[in-house]
């Protein structure tokens, strides 16, 4: 049986995304967390951030409404992973510990997934995906205006 290398298109990108997301979500399920929560926590490492700006940033990245991302922030605060301070949110000690543990576990899995793929192939894929993302975002913005 011969196989051909697929060209990069929406289906190939989507299949890779959903396969990787399924792996991540299986890890997150072990930690009673969601994809949206993990993405949000990843943007709060370091200094406190403005809650509304964070909600907008995550909404833009995940292509959802800010009400949904505000709800995710509320969930993380209720879990004790984030703390609200006036108009800002910050990681709690529990949030830092959780994020480090999950990131380490996902990092090990990612290392296995990407093992053996030449660095130049990964760099080329990164450049292509960044360009596809920018163009898709431009198309979406044009459709919304």
Q: Encode pLDDT of 1-47 as tens digits.
A: 556 788 889 999 999 999 999 999 999 999 999 999 999 999 998 88
Question: What is the domain-level CATH number for residue 99?
Answer: 1.10.10.10
| pLDDT for res 6 | 80
pLDDT tens, residue by residue, 76-108 = 999 999 999 999 999 999 999 999 999 999 999
- Helix or strand (DSSP H, E) at 88: strand 88-91
Q: Are residues 88 and 63 in the same domain?
A: yes
Q: Are residues 27 and 59 in the same domain?
A: yes
Number of domains in the chain: 2
Contacts of 81 (CB under 8 A, 6+ apart): 37, 41, 91, 92, 94, 95, 98, 99
- Cβ atoms within 10 Å, residue 76: 26
Which residues span the domain enclosing 140?
A: 116-145
pLDDT of res. 2: 57
């Amino acid at each position: 049986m011969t196989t051909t290398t697929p060209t990069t298109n929406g289906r190939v990108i989507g299949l890779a995304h959903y396969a990787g997301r399924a792996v991540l979500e299986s890890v997150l399920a072990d930690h009673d967390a969601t994809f949206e929560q993990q993405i949000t926590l990843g943007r709060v490492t370091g200094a406190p951030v403005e809650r509304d700006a964070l909600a907008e940033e995550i909404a833009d990245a995940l292509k959802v409404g800010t009400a949904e991302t505000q709800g995710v922030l509320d969930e993380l605060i209720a879990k004790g992973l984030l703390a609200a301070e006036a108009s800002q949110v910050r990681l709690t000690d529990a949030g830092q510990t959780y994020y480090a543990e999950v990131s380490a576990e996902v990092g090990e899995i990612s290392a296995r997934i990407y093992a053996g793929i030449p660095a130049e192939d990964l760099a080329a894929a990164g450049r292509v995906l960044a360009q596809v993302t920018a163009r898709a975002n431009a198309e979406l913005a044009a459709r919304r205006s």
